[in-house]
Amino acid sequence: MRALPLIPLLLSGCLTLPALAANSSTDAADWLNRLAKAEQEQSYQGTFVYERNGSFSTHDIWHRVQDGKVSERLLQLDGPAQEVVRVDGQTQCVSGALVPGVGNATQSSARVLDPLKLMNWYDLSVAGQSRVAGRDVVILTLRPRDQHRYAFELYLDRKTALPLKSLLINDKEQLLERFQFTSLETRVPSDGELKSSANCQQVAPASGQANEAVVGWRSDWLPPGFELVNSSVRKDPDGKHSISSMMYDDGLARFSVFLETIDSGAGSDARTQLGPTAAVSRQLTTPKGEMMVTVVGEIPIGTAERVALSMRLQDAQASQ
């Protein structure tokens, strides 16, 4: 289960906008500011549906902002039983198929929804009005200015500015991902509602090794606007090799680069697209041995492939 595209993020408070990029709307920027503020101030409980690659799932969410602390619980209602509990963005416990994927990776760097930054890479506009989950909404569009990211449509609640629906759309106007509330209550969830079930397994705090920054690697090319926001090094499950990971962010979209030493002939190149998520793996021959470079994220697969091919060792000339 992937968490909501926007709701689980710890967003910034209101931001000042000294200038607007061409083709972007002041009203749209104001709504994004309201969304950022709502995430830090508004408690709620609701049910939403999530669609990707033709597959649907239904989830309950409890989100409480109290005394400066953000607590959240997500529970999948159909299919495999999956649950996540977070406090201030840090994963406390997980269940079901999520357990192996989380491991010690309890926290990723928080995104800051900054309209001024986004207007460098997206055209922002208010597209109209509608209703979602029985509530009046304003439709916000974010259209990319290049081929390296997808378009978003956000349906923001008029009263709270919470996102009640979001659509992720490619350059052919095809729907890649949908998240949509079917019910929403703007109330403060109780301690009992935020308490994890007995099946939710506690996640161990990240070790010092997991917090070690990646050194010695660079990318010869990145999509404009994407910046390194987090990096870490950890051992693989067998403890034989180290896996380096680097996360890049344009303020809305994200992708990660994973670098792992492999035995000669043990890996193979691959490219996969599942809904909005691209995954590209490429072998790289370096003076330190064979490496597998994998790029995963909600970016076009051509962009992911170009990033994978651009990774280089800083202290030696690598060749493919």
pLDDT value at position 5?
40
User: Measured between alpha carbons, how far is 187 from 189 in angstroms, rounded to an integer?
Assistant: 6
pLDDT in tens, the chain (320 residues): 333 443 333 223 333 333 334 456 789 999 999 998 898 899 999 999 999 988 899 999 999 999 989 999 999 999 878 999 999 888 999 997 655 444 444 445 556 688 889 999 999 999 999 999 999 999 999 999 999 999 999 999 999 999 999 999 999 999 999 999 999 999 999 999 999 999 899 887 655 444 566 777 888 999 999 999 988 888 766 666 778 899 999 999 999 999 998 877 667 899 999 989 999 999 988 887 888 999 999 999 999 999 999 998 876 444 44
Phi first, then psi: give them for residue 237, nearest 5 degrees. -55, -30
Other C-beta atoms within 10 Å of 118: how many?
22
Residues whose CB falls within 8 Å of the CB of residue 39, separated by 6 or more in sequence, listed in order: 7, 9, 10, 11, 162
User: Measured between alpha carbons, how far is 64 from 45 in angstroms, rounded to an integer?
Assistant: 8
Tokens for 46? 């609701």
Question: Dihedral through CA 82, CA 67, CA 111, CA 42, nearest 10?
Answer: 80
Rg of the Cα atoms in the chain = 20
- The secondary structure of residue 236, as a DSSP letter, is -
User: Measured between alpha carbons, how far is 254 from 9 in angstroms, rounded to an integer?
Assistant: 13
pLDDT value at position 2?
36
Q: Whole-angstrom distance between the N-terminal and C-terminal Cα of the chain?
A: 35
Q: Do residues 42 and 65 touch, judged by C-beta distance below 8 A?
A: yes
Phi first, then psi: give them for residue 96, nearest 5 degrees. 65, -145
User: Domains, the chain, ranges and CATH?
Assistant: 26-202 (2.50.20.10), 209-313 (3.30.200.100)
pLDDT value at position 4?
44
